[in-house]
A and B are shown apart, each in its own frame.
Chain A
Amino acid sequence: MTYWTLTESDLDRIAIGVGILGTGGGGSPYQQMLMAKAMLRRGKRIRMIRPADLPPDAQIIGLGGIGAPTVGIEKMEEGGEGVRVLRAIEAHTGRKVDAVLGDEVGGGNGIYPMVTAAELDLPVVDADGMGRAFPEVQMTSFFVYGQASQPAALSDAEGNTLVITNAATPETLERIMRAATVAMGCTACMTTAPMTGDFVRRFGVVHTTSQAWTLGDAVLGARAAKQDPIAAVLREADGSLLMQGKVTDIERRIAGGFVRGSLTVTGLDADAGRCIKVDIQNEYLVATEGDRRLVMVPDLICIVDAETGRPIGTEEQRYGLRVAVIAIPAPPLLRTPEALRAMGPRAFGYDFDFIPFGRSAEARAVAAYTRASGTPSTPLIHSGELP
C-alpha cells in the first residue's frame, strides 16, 4: 500500500483544482489551503490513500465545514474541531476511525479534512461523495447508496461538541445541526455517520483529489510555459470546451438561502455567433444553447478565466469577463437512476430528465501513488475495537 504525501506545491495545485471542480460554488478554498500549509510547516504530514487500498472493514468518516462563510473568515478554525468530532464518534461507536475524507471535493471542503488528518496522522481517502460541489449536505453518493444519517457530530472552535445519536428523519437532523451551528457562533465542523472501507470503495467518487491536483497542475504548468491553460485542462480532465466567449448578461438573486439566477456567455473568435445560457443555483446547473440543452447536473459545468484558467465562482461573474465554459462528464456513480433522483435535474426543480454529456469515466489516481516510497508500508488498521 502506498501513500501520496502532499507538499505545499501539491496544495497549491489542489486549491486551483477544487476551485474548478466547485462548478461555481463550494466556497473559496483559500483559508483551508492556508490551514493545511500551516500543518505542513509544523512538521505534520498529509497522506492521501486510494480507495482501492482501504481494508474493507476500515472505519472512515467525512469531515466538512458548516455555517456562514462570512463568519468563517472572521472566527476562523481553532484546528482541533475535526479531532473532537472524530473522537466523539469513536466514543459513541466504540470503534476507532482509520481514515477521513471530504464529502464535497468542490471548493474549501475539498481540503478541509486534511487538517484533522495531519493532526492525527491519519490518511485522507482520495474520494468524495460529489465529485464536484452541491448546495445540500445530503446530495452525496454515500447518502444515495445507503449511508446512515446518524450518528452525526459537530464541534466548534471553543471546544463545544455535540453528538446526535438519533434523529427521526434526515430533515430533522439537518434542522438540529443548523440550530446547533447557530448556537456555536455560526461556524463548526461536522461529520455524518461513519462508513466502512468497503462502502467507500463501492460508493465513493474515486480519485477526486487526484483529479483536482491534475487540473491545478495543468493550469500552473501551462501558465509557467506560457501556453494555453484551457487546452491543458481539457487534455487532463476528459472534458470538452463548450465555448470560449464573454459574459454578456448576468442575473442573480438570493432565494431560500441560495444564489439563483442565470448567466449568458456570447461566443468570441471561433465561437462567434454562438450564445450559451447557464442556470445557477449556488453552482452552475444547466447549460443551454438556443433550445438545446448541452449539459446538465450532475455533469460538471466549469467556468474559468479564458486567459489564466482561474476558476470563476457564480458570485464574481459579471459582464465582460472572458471565460471558457467547460463540461466534464460526471462519474458513472452519479448517473444511476437512484443518484439522479437526488442530484439530477428534477432534484433541482426542472421538469426534464437527465441527458448525459460525453463519456463518463472514473478519475485516475495521480502517479505519485505508484512511486516506490522507500519506507515500508504500515498497516492502515491499527485496531478494531477501542481499547
Chain B
Amino acid sequence: MSGLVRIGIDVGGTNTDAALLRGRDVVATIKTATTADVTAGVASAIRAVLEGSGIGAAQVSAVMIGTTHFLNAVVEGRHLRRVGILRLCGRATHAVPPMIDWPEHLRSIVDGGAALASGGVNFDGSSIARLDTDEIRAACRKWRAAGIEAVAISSVFALVDARMEIEAARIVADAMPDASISLSHRIGRTGLLARESATILNASLHVLGQETVGAFRAAFAGLGLFCPLYLTQNDGTLMGADYAERHPVFTIASGPTNSMRGAAFLTGLNDAAVIDVGGTTTDVGMLVAGFPRVRSEGAEIGGIRTNFRVPDVFSFGLGGGSLIEVSPLAIGPHSVGFRLAEMALCFGGDTLTATDIAVAAGLVALGDPARVRHLDGAFVNAAIKRMKTDVEAVLDRMKPSAEPIPAVLVGGGSVLLEGQLQGTSVSLRPDHFGSANAIGAAIAQVSGEVDRVVSLEGTTRVAALEQIVNDARARAVEAGAVEATVTLAELEETPLSYLPGNAIRIAAKVVGELAA
C-alpha cells in the first residue's frame, strides 16, 4: 500500500471517526458526532478529513467504511423485509423448524413462510434426497402471492456440497425474477440452524443494503470521489461495495475488530491485549498474530443465534461519560453518552463523570479545569485507582495465560487509565489512539474463508487441506485481493468424534492486500 491514499471511517453509536492514511502514515484524523442520517454523517466526516489533510478527493484511492447501521436495524427491528425460507433437507431436520429460536418480535416481522423441501446431502456428500423443481416452484408461487421479494436458501451440509443450493437458486430466480436470493453456503459455517438464521437475516436486510450502499455511492459522487468503496466485515477484512450490497449481514460485528486491528497497526504489536475505552463502554480483546482472538461460540445478533466468528471481546460499563457516585464510590455502568459535552462538570454541566475525574487528576486537558477543582484529591485518586483495577480484573480474565503481555490503550476514553496496568509487560497509548477504529478500517485487508466437513475416503488429508485452502484463496481474490499477497491466516482441523477417522472438519481463512 505504498503511498496510496486511503480513508477509513468508523460509524459508531456516538461518534463517527475518520482517518486519512498515505501509505502507512496517518495524515489526519477527525471525530464527528454520528447523525441520524448515516450517509450525511459519513459525507461530512470525509469532507472534514480531506480538509484537515489538504489532500484532494481525486487522490484518494479507496474508502473503507465500518458501520453499525445494519446491526442497529436488526436490534431495533426496523427496515427488515419479509423473507421466504427454503430449506433443502428431505425428511431430516423437521424437528427443528426455521426461526424457532428467534425473538417473537423479529420473527413476526421477517417470517414470510418456510418450505422444507426435498434435497440436502450427508457429511460424506451422498445425497439425502433429490431436488424437486416442482416443489420449489410451488413455494415460489406462494411467496410471490404474498409479495415476498427475498428468499433465503439453506441446504443440509451445503458446506460439503453447495450444488443443490446453487441449483435451487436458479429455480427460484426463474420463478421470482426480481427476488433477492441469499445462499447459506456463502454466509455461515457448519451448524444448519445458526447458518440458516444468518442467511435469513441477510435476505431480510437486502433492501437496506441496496439503499445504504446506493446512498454512499451518491454521496461519494457529490464529494468528487470516484475510488472504490469498501465495507469492513465481522473479521475486520474488507468487502467491495457490490458484494456488501448483497451481504449486509457481514458488517454486523465489525466495530471491535477495527479498533483492535488499528491498535496492532499503530504499535506494530501482533500479540497484545487491546483496551478500547469509549464514551460508555470499555472493550477488552486479545490480538493473536495481528488478528482479534475469536469467540468459541457464534455471535448473537439482536437475540438471534448465528455462527459468525466474532472477536472475543469483554465489554463493561466504563467510559468517558460514565456516571460517578461519590458515597460510596461507584463508577458506571450508566453514562451520559453522547451528551458528555453538555452534561459533564468540566464542560459546564452538573453531572460528575469519569472525564471530570481525569481532568481533576490532570490526566487530560478538557473543558474548564476550574469547574472540577473542588473535587477532593483523595476521592479523585480513589476513583482513578478503581477504574484501573476494574480494567485490570477484566484484562486478567481475558489473557491467555498468567504471563505478562503488552497492552494497547485506544479510544477517546483511554485517558482515564494512568500508568502501567497490572499483568502487562508494557501499557502503550499510541499516537492517534482516539481514532484506532477508523485507522483499522483504513488498513483492512481482504480475506477468503471456507469451512467444510470432508470425508477422507478416496483422498488424503493433505489433498483435502490443499483443496480447501485453494478455495479460500479463490474467494479472497474474488473479494478483491491481489493473488500474490494472499497468505494463510487460520487453519483449523477438527476430527469428528465417534467416527472411525474418515471425516474431518476443516476451516481455512486467508488474507491478502487490497488490489490498488
Interface size, A (range): 35 or more
B308 sits at the interface (CB 8 A): no
Are the C-beta atoms of B498 and A319 separated by less than 8 Å?
Answer: no
- For B192, list chain A residues within 8 Å (CB): 73-76
Closest to A39 in B: B95
- For A34, list chain B residues within 8 Å (CB): 96, 100-101, 193
B156: min CB distance to chain A, Å: 5
Judged by DSSP, the binding face of A is mixed
Are the C-beta atoms of B91 and A257 separated by less than 8 Å?
Answer: no
Are the C-beta atoms of A178 and B157 separated by less than 8 Å?
Answer: no
B204: min CB distance to chain A, Å: 21
Q: 1/0 per position for A243-273, CB-CB distance to B under 8 A?
A: 0001011000010011000000000000000
Closest to B126 in A: A185
CA of A322 to CA of B396, assembled, Å: 10
Which of A62-70, A88-96, A376-384 lies on the face that meets chain B? A62-70
- For B90, list chain A residues within 8 Å (CB): 157-158
B231: min CB distance to chain A, Å: 29
Are the C-beta atoms of A178 and B498 separated by less than 8 Å?
Answer: yes
Are the C-beta atoms of A74 and B498 separated by less than 8 Å?
Answer: no
Are the C-beta atoms of A78 and B92 separated by less than 8 Å?
Answer: yes
A148 sits at the interface (CB 8 A): no
Known: A75-B122, A257-B498, A320-B398. A158 touches B128 (CB 8 A): yes
CA of A68 to CA of B124, assembled, Å: 13
Are the C-beta atoms of B499 and A68 separated by less than 8 Å?
Answer: yes
Q: 1/0 per position for B72-105, CB-CB distance to A under 8 A?
A: 0000000000000000001111111100110000
Interface size, B (range): 35 or more
CA of A309 to CA of B296, assembled, Å: 19
CA of A37 to CA of B104, assembled, Å: 14
Are the C-beta atoms of B190 and A186 separated by less than 8 Å?
Answer: no
A104 sits at the interface (CB 8 A): no
- For A332, list chain B residues within 8 Å (CB): none
A365: min CB distance to chain B, Å: 28
CA of A182 to CA of B503, assembled, Å: 10
Are the C-beta atoms of B122 and A185 separated by less than 8 Å?
Answer: yes
CA of A318 to CA of B286, assembled, Å: 14
- For A66, list chain B residues within 8 Å (CB): 498
Are the C-beta atoms of B93 and A319 separated by less than 8 Å?
Answer: no
Are the C-beta atoms of B94 and A78 separated by less than 8 Å?
Answer: yes
Closest to A69 in B: B497
Are the C-beta atoms of A185 and B96 separated by less than 8 Å?
Answer: no
B453 sits at the interface (CB 8 A): yes
CA of A74 to CA of B97, assembled, Å: 13
Closest to A68 in B: B496
CA of A35 to CA of B95, assembled, Å: 6
B8 sits at the interface (CB 8 A): no
B2 sits at the interface (CB 8 A): no
CA of A254 to CA of B504, assembled, Å: 13
A38 sits at the interface (CB 8 A): yes
- For A248, list chain B residues within 8 Å (CB): 402
Closest to A70 in B: B496
Are the C-beta atoms of A157 and B400 separated by less than 8 Å?
Answer: no
Partner of B97, one of A38, A158, A257: A38
A176 sits at the interface (CB 8 A): no
Partner of A68, one of B95, B126, B398, B497: B497
Are the C-beta atoms of A246 and B397 separated by less than 8 Å?
Answer: yes
> For chain B residues 171-212, which have a beta carbon within 8 Å of chain A?
190-194
A159 sits at the interface (CB 8 A): yes
B267: min CB distance to chain A, Å: 22
- For B24, list chain A residues within 8 Å (CB): none
CA of A316 to CA of B498, assembled, Å: 19
> For chain B residues 12-66, which have a beta carbon within 8 Å of chain A?
none
A253: min CB distance to chain B, Å: 12
A64: min CB distance to chain B, Å: 13
- For B217, list chain A residues within 8 Å (CB): none
- For A78, list chain B residues within 8 Å (CB): 91-95
- For B193, list chain A residues within 8 Å (CB): 31, 34, 73, 76
CA of A195 to CA of B259, assembled, Å: 60
CA of A360 to CA of B97, assembled, Å: 42
Known: A182-B499, A186-B123. A75 touches B95 (CB 8 A): no
Partner of A321, one of B93, B120, B397, B505: B397
Are the C-beta atoms of B397 and A74 separated by less than 8 Å?
Answer: no
CA of A70 to CA of B496, assembled, Å: 7
Are the C-beta atoms of B397 and A322 separated by less than 8 Å?
Answer: yes
Are the C-beta atoms of A73 and B190 separated by less than 8 Å?
Answer: yes
B388 sits at the interface (CB 8 A): no
A115 sits at the interface (CB 8 A): yes
Q: 1/0 per position for B487-516, CB-CB distance to A under 8 A?
A: 000000011111110010100000000000
CA of A257 to CA of B500, assembled, Å: 9
Are the C-beta atoms of A75 and B128 separated by less than 8 Å?
Answer: yes
CA of A373 to CA of B128, assembled, Å: 44
Interface centre among A75, A78, A115 (most CB of B within 10 A): A75
Q: 1/0 per position for A334-355, CB-CB distance to B under 8 A?
A: 0000000000000000000000
CA of A73 to CA of B196, assembled, Å: 12
B386 sits at the interface (CB 8 A): no
CA of A159 to CA of B194, assembled, Å: 25
Q: 1/0 per position for A34-77, CB-CB distance to B under 8 A?
A: 11011000000000000000000000000000111111011111
A79 sits at the interface (CB 8 A): yes
CA of A76 to CA of B128, assembled, Å: 12
> For chain B residues 104-158, which have a beta carbon within 8 Å of chain A?
120, 122-124, 126, 128-129, 156-157
A232: min CB distance to chain B, Å: 23
| CB-based closest 3 A-B pairs | A79-B95, A157-B92, A320-B397
Supply 10 further A-B pairs (C-beta < 8 A) apart from A68-B497, A70-B497, A186-B496. A68-B498, A70-B190, A71-B453, A73-B192, A74-B191, A74-B453, A77-B94, A78-B94, A79-B94, A157-B93
Binding site for B on A (CB under 8 A): 31, 34-35, 37-38, 66-71, 73-79, 115, 157-159, 178, 181-182, 185-186, 246, 248-249, 254, 257-258, 315-316, 318-322
